[in-house]
Structure 1
């Protein structure tokens, strides 16, 4: 039996001079981690609401702002344009100055521009303000996954990211719920010489999750893993002690670790922008180039179908609900007939009456859509390891692509709505594609590689939103068919995906670690 002094020495060696990962495990898992998860979920919720919230505004605002269908496409795409144009910048800053340091001020700025956009009195002011909102929303979009993952031990990281991603589906329930409660009201008042109608107040409401997250984030520390890499173990130790204090309900002085043997990688932060670009160039050389090409085109297809189509679904459903035809006709026939009536009225010099009413039935249908997304996200978590990542991704995208095509032709509004909801489940495939891609990128390149992949995805959302706006009323069947065929066909790219282990072996030979 060991005497007490020997045992004390062993305990001292175990807790006072250990690796960073062991020191992180010592912080435990409790209130601190739950708060980080909740805050990160609110940030993801905010990013999603700011990206697609305008889809519930445009029908109500079209008369007041004199919006054409092309204008609606521009406004729907504006936030995505802002996110795409600044994703690389925020990814670079997040890796250089810190995750929290980038997200917190950017979230406050995005809320300010979002509120300001509710005061826009013309389409171009609204367009510019929504782009600026997207630029600052992009900061959270590019870094929240890194922050959430780095705030959890390796054994719990995947589960934390999965649970955080569920908050994205909540946006598709909360947004139509808020719209249902606010937009149908006919009230208005004047503020700063601007008539504040219900749709403008609705735009304010979706800023609440972001502001709440910013308030909580101001109380949370920077990622200890980032601090370890940039400043060394001595700087990271107080953050770990704070995590221990929150999780165990005791003072930080009781944290049993006094020294961490793992050294930081501060040298990697001294190369500046040129050094970051040099390191990033590995992504565009074999063997990673092939992975980048396949994954980025696939993510473009995922976002083009899910987010690009989603911003138009409320208007499409509104057209279905307002259709008074006695015979069963497809959604494309409904949309085309509406555009034809407007054109005939203009040709006969009859002033077309602008109708900004939105059928109340749009909102519960959209909320049901959000519930389907939530169930799909949870099902992916259950089946991804049983079915396989590539097989599950291919199955979802192929089925959703076919559903998109079928939605344009079925001669029944209820069936078309169900097919549209099924088509939009393509958005859930983004997390599967990210899981496929993340395996092949080295640790030093992973954050920026994922950032660029999501940037390309949101470019697909912007392209899809604008092209549908430009073609929905003139070439409806062609628009749905092309989008569905492209999405379903993109699954063929997975046939050329390389062996992850082969890529890892080749990159490790070049000195990059995983």
Structure 2
């Protein structure tokens, strides 16, 4: 009796039939290297701007300008990368953007002055601006639906680990005492320039990995390349199940509506790719998810940015024996301390029996309630546990991204992820400045304000669509 073959299988069902295994974990590792490259290139400036101050002869205002350059690059180019990924492919654009990020970042190592360094860092940040969103999109489109929330949520933990590891790399490298003069450039190659090169390496590794990786089969299907998509699905099935296992799908369908338009000209094409997100039926989804990204980033990212300041204040208060006062009182007594680099990395894997919408809402509400309660206890242990629970809400960066990956059609998916992340990061800039001012003068108000808004985000999350039900495959 011959093996039953399946014709015209919906994409999600075909992806489920490839299984879950080696390929998916290799893809997660590749996405992890891409996230590391983005994090290192964007956040390295905060470590290098001070270390390079003497040689580049920068004053505080110039250092602040350099430090803000990566964020400007991200906001300026994220939209464009989303457009390119939706029109040219995820793999090709990730290769190009990572290569651009590496080349500009590497050349910045040999900057003769701070202006050249700032311009090159702007170029490198523009290069990696869309990599996080595009990596999430690629991961989501290559992962079976039942495992997708978990895999994308892991990327948040990877991101937090990457940002924390930067300090670990800095400790042994920056103190190195060597200096090699390069007459052609009239510069000295020393420890901060070496550290800059080290921070560039993950971008190069990510670009090389993408060259050996598959394109998103869902993207190929959306542009009419069914045979190529089916070939990649076969390849994924082989990696997960071995060469002897047979992939029973003979043809696959996208099973979603596409209104991709063919237009001439870059501006007209960019506009046509963006317009669907700003009109029905996608407008409500765009507004809701953008608003949730704004709330999550605005409320939680500032606390992660100022975590070194907060952690140092708490530790100094404990050293002085000020343990029986509230969290904010401990900070208020430590305003004159010097900042240190401290990072918290939180990893959480959702229970498969818990829907991701329920998990997202639970994390958001638990985080907000913990933030409101931080200053109601005079026990430093209780206060710190509540604060850790509050900042653990950053896990929703990943869970929220899974909804963007799922609810938007393939032809605008990368654009949607990039735009949502862009508005979220943009709002965090405002939050960072507001939080710093409040921590200095109105610490308790800061927790009530940010934690209260976090709870509002949890309530708004009830408007998100329910988890998609897996369709049962038809049996003969």
Indicate the residue corresponding to 1:490 in structure 2: 453
Within 1, Cα distance between the matches of 2:124 and 2:351?
Answer: 31
1:450 CA displacement? 2.8
1:235 aligns with 2:198: no
Secondary structure, counterpart of 1:206 in structure 2? helix
Q: Pick closer, same or farther for the CA change 1:142–1:118 going to 2, 3 Å.
A: same
1:381 CA displacement? 8.2
Alignment of 1:88-487 (within 5 A): 88-191=79-182, 192-250=185-243, 255-257=246-248, 259-262=250-253, 268=260, 270-271=262-263, 274=268, 277-278=271-272, 280-285=274-279, 292-293=286-287, 295-304=289-298, 306-311=300-305, 313-314=307-308, 362=340, 365-366=342-343, 369-370=344-345, 373-374=346-347, 377-378=348-349, 388-397=359-368, 399-400=370-371, 424-435=391-402, 441=408, 445-464=412-431, 477-478=440-441, 484-487=447-450
1:114 CA displacement? 1.6
TM-score normalized by the length of structure 2 = 0.77
When Rg is computed on C-alpha atoms for both structures, the one with the higher figure is 1
Q: Pick closer, same or farther for the CA change 1:266–1:293 going to 2, 3 Å.
A: closer
Alignment of 1:8-157 (within 5 A): 8=2, 11-12=3-4, 14-15=5-6, 18-157=9-148
Uncovered stretches (5+) of structure 1, i.e. residues with no partner: 1-6, 339-357, 505-514
Q: Pick closer, same or farther for the CA change 1:280–1:105 going to 2, 3 Å.
A: closer
Within 1, Cα distance between the matches of 2:165 and 2:11?
Answer: 40
Contact 1:114 1:129 in 2 (8 A): yes
1:208 CA displacement? 2.3
1:230 CA displacement? 0.8
Within 1, Cα distance between the matches of 2:351 and 2:370?
Answer: 15
Within 2, Cα distance between the matches of 1:216 and 1:188?
Answer: 33
User: What is the alpha-carbon root mean square deviation over aligned residues?
Assistant: 4.4
Secondary structure, counterpart of 2:231 in structure 1? helix
Within 1, Cα distance between the matches of 2:18 and 2:177?
Answer: 53
Contact 1:90 1:142 in 2 (8 A): no
Contact 1:27 1:244 in 2 (8 A): yes
Contact 1:16 1:260 in 2 (8 A): yes
Uncovered stretches (5+) of structure 2, i.e. residues with no partner: 323-328, 469-476
Q: Pick closer, same or farther for the CA change 1:467–1:387 going to 2, 3 Å.
A: closer
Provide the aligned length of Structure 1 versus Structure 2. Answer: 455
Q: Pick closer, same or farther for the CA change 1:275–1:422 going to 2, 3 Å.
A: same
